[in-house]
Copies of this chain bind each other. A is one copy, B any other.
Amino acid sequence: MRIPLDRKGPTPLYRQIQSFLREQIRTGHLIPESRLPASRLLAESLGVSRITVVNAYAELEAEGLVYSRPGSGTYVAAQLRPFPEVGDYNTGRDWPLWQQELLSRSWQPLLQEIDKCIASVEHPDLISFTAGLGAKELFPVDDFGKTMREVLRRDGMEALDYGDPAGYPPLRTTIAHILTSQGIPTHPDEVLVTSGSMQAIAMVAHLTLNPGDVVFVESPTYSMIIDLFRSVGARIQGIPVDEQGMMVEHMEDLMQSGQPNLVYAIPTFQNPTGSCMSGQRRRQLIALAERYNVPVLEDDFAGDLRYGGRVQPALKAMDPGGRVIYVSTFSKMLMPALRVGFLVASGPALDRLLALKRTMDLATSNLMQRALEAYITVGRYQAHLRRACRVYRQRRDAMADALKSSMPPGITWQVPDGGLFLWQQLPADWSADELFPLAGEEGVIYAPGSFFYPGGRVKRNLRLNFAMHPPERIVEGVKRLARAIERYTEWKQQEYPQSLRERQVPV
């Protein structure tokens, strides 16, 4: 093979070889499955070093144009065809009728709206308080990478199999230990590992709800949950929340006029309000669940991120047996990309949930579970938790102080005893949706409260994540928010401008 090389130009030799061969393959001069010259021979004939040819071949392999057979050589691969333009599929297409029907019976996912809303903001140095996560810098990236490799070395192919559908047994034991040490007596057999806690919640929704069934949730509540319950066709009844959490006393009347099929609650450091359900309301809720024969789904996504206040027992810990299904996750504490959560249930429900789990994704990644188990001894989990709580407490305080010193009168908030969120309230006739584009212009964004209401959209609130940024950024973000509020106050006295109206949160 003769390849013309420019030995004086700026293009490295391996690139020149790569380009030449690419062209030969593209034009069909080198046909699929033909063997390229051995790198040693080609190097000799071109008068270049062997590594130059090896590099050229490796680049071509990365492009998918050639492949190597170990011990045999390098071959031309079947050629890549360009994929169709989306235009081919999506423009001027008459979708089949069933697809058009999907549109008519569809719910608009809140999460999609939130994404759109966030994407609408452009700022070179945006401070975002929108996220539902903790601080990324606490994630043990490097340690976890090491653990992952160690597990692959230790367990080999074993780690790459499906594994136990209920979850890797030693991990279930660790989870049971952690929960038991936190006052939720749990046996490993009652633990079901899931692909994040979202899957656990989806499984319970699919187990307990048919289209038209009723589910009680806090109002406001986690927006993804509203999407989920809509997707199963449930009717969602919101129960108001105050500083003491879900106002359970409103539930009994509603239950008498029509029994719900599920109660979903986030009793501790509720999302989005941060409030914590009082002990009395917890007892009341369990009693109602018992009296009205309703399953309770307890979402404890951040229950152990506590920075102050009195510990309340989990609903699960008060359960006389089989009334409460408990879900939690490692995503908030460690790493979202683990996608490892879990639920605790007992009795026939546990069996049904295991069967459902298998129909939903067969099993949660065995490798991730093993790596997590190797990483998370009970002691290490508790150490990590202590570290996280120390950092987050500082940040919560930084935000509370910043708000105190920069918010005008009439704006209120409640400093939560734990979790990730602070819930702020604007004066009665204000709208956090209207404020949003102004805040974006100032370089700060938040989660507009209107996304968290299952019924009509209440617009007075905003959710601020205080855990994600270091104190300096929090202080700066709050300052920006104060400036936006100042501008909004001025607008409120005149007329809200049309130019902003178009960019406010879509309804």
Contact = CB atoms under 8 A, between A and B. Distances in A.
B99 A347 contact: yes
A310 interface: no
A339 B162 CA distance: 9
B177 A160 contact: no
A100 B186 contact: no
A336 B162 contact: yes
A487 interface: no
Contact of A69 (B133, B361, B383): B383
A99 B106 CA distance: 31
B231 A187 contact: no
Given A61-B380, A77-B378, A358 B95 contact: no
A186 B368 CA distance: 30
Interface string A162-200: 110000000000001101110001111110001110110
Given A95-B347, A227-B358, A383-B69, A337 B181 contact: no
Interface stretch (A43-51, A86-94, A417-425): A86-94
A327 interface: no
A501 interface: no
Contact of A361 (B79, B146, B198): B198
Interface string A465-505: 00000000000000000000000000000000000000000
B186 A157 contact: no
A382 interface: yes
Interface string A368-389: 1000000001111011001100
Interface in A314-363: 321-323, 335-339, 346-349, 352, 355-356, 358-363
A361 to B, nearest CB: 4
A324 to B, nearest CB: 10
Contacts of A355: 109, 111-112, 227, 231
Nearest to A184: B83
